[in-house]
Structure 1
C-alpha cells in the first residue's frame, strides 16, 4: 500500500508540506494488530472518513479518535489500531503551520490529540461529511485544501518559520544559535517563540527530528545496523541513540523493530519533512 501525496496550491506551500490520502482494506480481525506511531516533528490535521482509528498512549485503554483530529507536539509513542476500511486524509504542516491555523499556544496541546471541530468549529464536520461521500483521492484532497484556503492566514512566512524548518530534517548542519540569528531573534526570544509555535524548546524539537529520522531509516531499511543509523543521524554513539529511543518510545530500538515488523501498516515510512 502506497499513499497518494498531493502538493497544495502555491499560497499554502510555505505552511503545508502536503496532503496525504490513504485508502486501504486490511485483512484479519478488526483492530487486532497495532501500528506504532512514535513522535515526529510534523504536526498534522487528520481526517478519518471511514472506520474509526483507535489510539492509546502507554497503558491507557484504546479510544476512538475523532473524525477530524489535531495532532500537535508529541513526545511519547502512541499505538494505533485500525478497522477493516482504513481511509485517512492527513494535512502535514511545516513547522509553524498548525499554529497559523489554530492561533493557540501549542505547548497546551502537548501529547493531547484534540477533536478539531471543538477547536475550529462545526465547518470541520461538513468537511468530514464531504470526505465520507468522496470516492477519489484527488476529490478528498481538493475538499480539504479548499477549507485550508478559507481558514489559514496566507501572509508571508515569518523569519522564525523559515529558520525553524532547518531543524526539522533531523541533521545538525546548523546550531541553535545560528538558527536564532536567522530568525532575527535573541536566543531567549527564540526559545519563547518555539514554545508557543512548536510546543517545546528548539533543542527538544531538534532531538525529536533526529530521533524521527533514525526511526524512519530503520523502517525503510530494516536490515540496517543501529550503529550505522546512529552515525548517519548525528548521534555520538549507539548508546546516545538508545537513550532517545527509551525516552520517546519507552522501549529499546530492538523491541521497537519487532513492533514495526508486526504492524499492518508502516505509517511513517513515507513521512515527508
Structure 2
C-alpha cells in the first residue's frame, strides 16, 4: 500500500507529506522493503530532493533493476547527465541488465546536458548490444537531444530515417527544438505533421506562434493565432506551484484567487522593476 501511495507523487506533490510516509514506513519496519525504497527514490526526486533519493538508494541492502532505473532517472530529471551515465556503468558492473526504461533515462540525461555523441552511442548499444527495440519515447528523446544542440536539420533527417512511422511525441520534440532555436522553416514542416496527427491540440499552433515571435514575423504569428481560434482550439492553462510549510500553492496566469494575492503581486512588481533596470525585455511568447 505504501509503495502504491508513493507512486502517485509528482512534481506538484507535497515533499512534507512524502517525508511523513517515509517516517511511517520506518515505524512499520518497511524501511528496507525494496518496493517501498524504490518508491521513496522516485518520490524524493520528483519532489526536488535529489540528495535524499541518493541516500535511500545507498541504504538499500538489495537493489534490483527498478532501484537502479529509479536513481538514474532521478539524476536525469535533475539534469545531472554525467552522474546518470556513471550510475549506468556501475549498474552494468554489478551485473544488472539495463531495460528500455534505463535507456530512456540515459537519452533524457544526454539531451539536457548536450552529450549528443554519447546519446547516439547509447541508442546504438540499446539495439546492437542488448537487442532492445526502441519505442517512440526513445526516438523522441533523440530528436530532442539533437534539437537542443541546435542540430535541427540532423533531427529532421533522423526522423526521416526511422524504421517506424513517427508519432506525436517525435513531432512535438522536433517542433519544440525549432521553437528553442527559432527555425521557422523546419518548424512549419513539423507543425503540419503534428496538426495532421492531433488536429485538436493547441501545441503546434502555440509553438509556431512562438517561433514567429522570436523571428519578428508578427503577421504570420497573428495568422497562426487566428487560425487556432477559428477552429476553436484552446491553449491549456499553464500552472506553477510552490510548497510552503507542507502546503502546495498553485497559480495560473493573472491568478487573483489566492488569499495573499495582493501581497504576492506587490512583490512581483518590485522584482519586475529591478529586472527592467537590469535590462530585462518582456518576452513575446504565447
Q: TM class by shorter-chain length?
A: under 0.3
Using CA pairs under 8 Å that are at least 6 residues apart, name the structure with larger relative contact order, 1 or 2.
1
Structure richer in strand, relative to its length: 1
Structure richer in helix, relative to its length: 2
TM-score, with length taken from structure 2: 0.26
Structure with greater Cα Rg: 2
TM-score, with length taken from structure 1: 0.26
